[in-house]
Amino acid sequence: MSESPSRVEQLPDVHVQAEVLVQALPHMQRYDQEVVVIKYGGHAMGDRAAAEDFAEDVVLLEQSGIKPIVVHGGGPQIGKMLEKLGIKSEFKAGLRVTDQATVEVVEMVLAGSINKQIVGWIGAEGGKAVGLCGKDGNMVTARKVTRTMVDPDSNIEKVLDLGFVGEPEKVNRAVLDQVLSAELIPVLAPVAVGQDGQTYNVNADTFAGAIAGAMMAKRLLLLTDVPGVLDKNKNLIPEMTIDDCRRLIADGTITDGMIPKIETCIYALERGVEAVVILDGKVPHSVLLELFTDHGAGTLIRRA
């Protein structure tokens, strides 16, 4: 019995798909039952198609035996809600000052609307996600961030009071262990509580680094709006070590907003994360490209 023309025409594509799966096998085996922390934010989070691609990636990771943990940001959404409510933001040295009214909006947006939206996207792709924040189960205890700046007029270093902006002080992994053992996908909002009971807004990259370190993650993926770390000629640097990172910060190659991301990478690596990747979240299925192919999708950073 001869096969129908339509079936014959499909065979080449089927063979390509099978070859792709075979090539992905060793990568899947490498990450089997390992924790992968993914920081999700930037413009990729605001685009519906990109969000659906991301949700598909996360569900596929979980289905293939990996234990993904998603940490998300939401700066643009917070800004829009503050504007809608008529709450004016004050900035010091480019950083938003988080007063009591602002931190309440931050918690509402991050731990509420954005968190549940991502949980919904993952659910729509067949996954089972649980939305949490650092407050749940005392997962993350924060301390107030202290920052300094040099006054350009007096050349005197001054301490900046950023209000209720925090940084992780302690991570209790008990809740995450329980959620992962139930084969659920944790989706975490970077809101935490201090020992004083005060709510703190935590930078999402920093929060993700602390979670990755506490969970001894195999990989920490930082999804950004750029291809990765760029050299002075704006070419992608495919691989780096901690020493490379410090050298490129010192010589001015790594500047501005990339510096705190690199500091988060170093922090996570020094706490046992095997490797960190900074990659472009706007590239479709960038998470799968990075983890399941030889190609990679950004800058890979290792201890040495």
Whether residues 192 and 245 fall in one domain: no
Find out whether 176 and 187 touch, Cβ atoms under 8 Å.
no
C-alpha distances (whole Å) from 220 to each of 41, 63, 215, 271 are: 14, 19, 10, 12
CATH number, domain containing residue 246: 3.40.1160.10
Please indicate, yes or no, if residue 223 is contained in any of the structural domains.
Answer: yes
Whether residues 47 and 193 fall in one domain: yes
The secondary element (H helix, E strand) that includes residue 168 is: strand 165-171
pLDDT at 201: 94
Residue 245: both structure tokens together: 């990172």
pLDDT at 69: 98
Whether residues 84 and 211 fall in one domain: yes
Whether residues 203 and 290 fall in one domain: no
pLDDT at 106: 93
Side chain identity at residue 243, one-letter code? D
Q: Over 90: is that where the pLDDT of 190 sits?
A: yes
Please indicate, yes or no, if residue 254 is contained in any of the structural domains.
Answer: yes
Question: Of 215, 243, 274, which residue constitutes the final position of a domain?
Answer: 215
Please indicate, yes or no, if residue 284 is contained in any of the structural domains.
Answer: yes
Side chain identity at residue 267, one-letter code? Y
Determine the structural domain holding residue 246 and report its residue range: 217-303
Mean pLDDT, the chain, whole residue set: 88
pLDDT at 244: 95
pTM of the complete model: 0.89
| 201 is an annotated ligand-binding site residue | yes
Find out whether 164 and 200 touch, Cβ atoms under 8 Å.
yes
Number of domains in the chain: 2
Alpha-carbon Rg for the chain in angstroms: 21
Whether residues 128 and 174 fall in one domain: yes
Termini Cα distance of the chain: 60
| 74 is an annotated ligand-binding site residue | yes
Please indicate, yes or no, if residue 84 is contained in any of the structural domains.
Answer: yes
pLDDT at 2: 47
Confidence of residue 51 (pLDDT cuts 50, 70, 90): confident
What mean pLDDT comes out for the span 220-228? Answer: 90
Whether residues 282 and 139 fall in one domain: no
Whether residues 105 and 163 fall in one domain: yes
| 194 is an annotated ligand-binding site residue | no
Please indicate, yes or no, if residue 87 is contained in any of the structural domains.
Answer: yes
What mean pLDDT comes out for the span 100-115? Answer: 93
Q: Over 50: is that where the pLDDT of 130 sits?
A: yes
What mean pLDDT comes out for the span 230-247? Answer: 92
Please indicate, yes or no, if residue 93 is contained in any of the structural domains.
Answer: yes
Please indicate, yes or no, if residue 224 is contained in any of the structural domains.
Answer: yes
What mean pLDDT comes out for the span 183-211? Answer: 95
What mean pLDDT comes out for the span 87-101? Answer: 82
From the list 228, 226, 225, 295, the residue with the least C-alpha distance to 265 is 228
CA dist 194 and 166 (Å) reads 8
Whether residues 198 and 252 fall in one domain: no
CA dist 75 and 289 (Å) reads 26
Whether residues 184 and 221 fall in one domain: no
Whether residues 269 and 178 fall in one domain: no
Please indicate, yes or no, if residue 203 is contained in any of the structural domains.
Answer: yes
pLDDT at 39: 96
Question: Of 191, 215, 239, which residue constitutes the final position of a domain?
Answer: 215
Q: Over 60: is that where the pLDDT of 1 sits?
A: no
Whether residues 47 and 188 fall in one domain: yes
| 155 is an annotated ligand-binding site residue | no
From the list 222, 204, 139, the residue with the least C-alpha distance to 167 is 204
Whether residues 153 and 210 fall in one domain: yes
Among 133-137, 140-144, 207-211, 224-228, which is the least confidently predicted range? 224-228
Question: Of 196, 215, 234, which residue constitutes the final position of a domain?
Answer: 215
What mean pLDDT comes out for the span 109-115? Answer: 93
